[in-house]
């Protein structure tokens, strides 16, 4: 039995909608990037973040840390396997924005076929998990189980 309720995770992600885009930030209502949304939801549903996040440049994936996002997800989240069309609410989605490129974007699936993520220079938004995003999906993860 999952101690973390997937609907609770999805609702936590929805609370970030409208938060302005701010590189490296993770402050509900004040600023977040795509990873900042995941970090903020983690703090709400899991607790303290598992490790301090080092500073990263806006072009971090082109500067030698191309595998960092996928490696962190594999370390701290639980990989989902098997067919999921679409992934269930509460799942963390990782994306390759370039077909053969590194994983550079993430979001959280919510009910109704959408996902919450931060768009650079815009805000945290709800997007439809349609063909564009499906073609770029690189991994599906869930928050770790907790005791209980």
What residues does each domain of the chain span? 6-48+82-142
Q: What CA–CA distances, in Å, run from 25 to 43, 49, 88, 103, 104?
A: 14, 14, 26, 19, 16
Report yes or no: 77 and 141 within 8 Å, Cβ to Cβ.
Answer: yes
pLDDT of residue 58: 65
CATH of 6-48+82-142 among 3.40.50.1820, 3.90.1720.10, 3.30.750.24, 3.40.50.2300: 3.90.1720.10
Residue range 57-101, pLDDT digits in tens: 666 555 455 578 888 899 999 999 877 789 999 999 999 988 888
pTM: predicted TM-score of the whole model, two decimal places: 0.89
Instruction: Output the six-digit token pair for 126.
Output: 């709800």
Res. 35 pLDDT band, cuts 50 70 90: very high
CA angle 127, 133, 87 (to 5 degrees): 80
Cβ neighbours of residue 96 under 8 Å, at least 6 residues apart? Answer: 102, 103, 104, 136, 138
């Amino acid at each position: 039995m999952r101690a973390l309720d997937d609907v609770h995770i999805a609702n936590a992600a929805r609370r970030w909608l409208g938060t302005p885009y701010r590189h490296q930030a993770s402050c509900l209502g004040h600023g977040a990037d795509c990873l900042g949304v995941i970090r903020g939801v983690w703090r709400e549903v899991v607790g303290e973040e598992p490790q301090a996040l080092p500073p990263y440049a806006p072009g971090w994936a082109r500067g030698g840390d191309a595998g960092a996002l996928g490696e962190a997800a594999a370390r701290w989240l639980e990989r989902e396997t098997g067919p999921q069309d679409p992934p269930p609410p509460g799942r963390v989605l990782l994306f390759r924005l370039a077909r053969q490129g590194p994983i550079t974007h993430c979001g959280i699936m919510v009910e109704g076929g959408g996902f919450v993520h931060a768009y650079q220079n815009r805000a945290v938004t709800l997007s439809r998990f349609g063909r564009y995003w499906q073609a770029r999906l690189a991994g599906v993860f869930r928050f770790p189980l907790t005791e209980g």
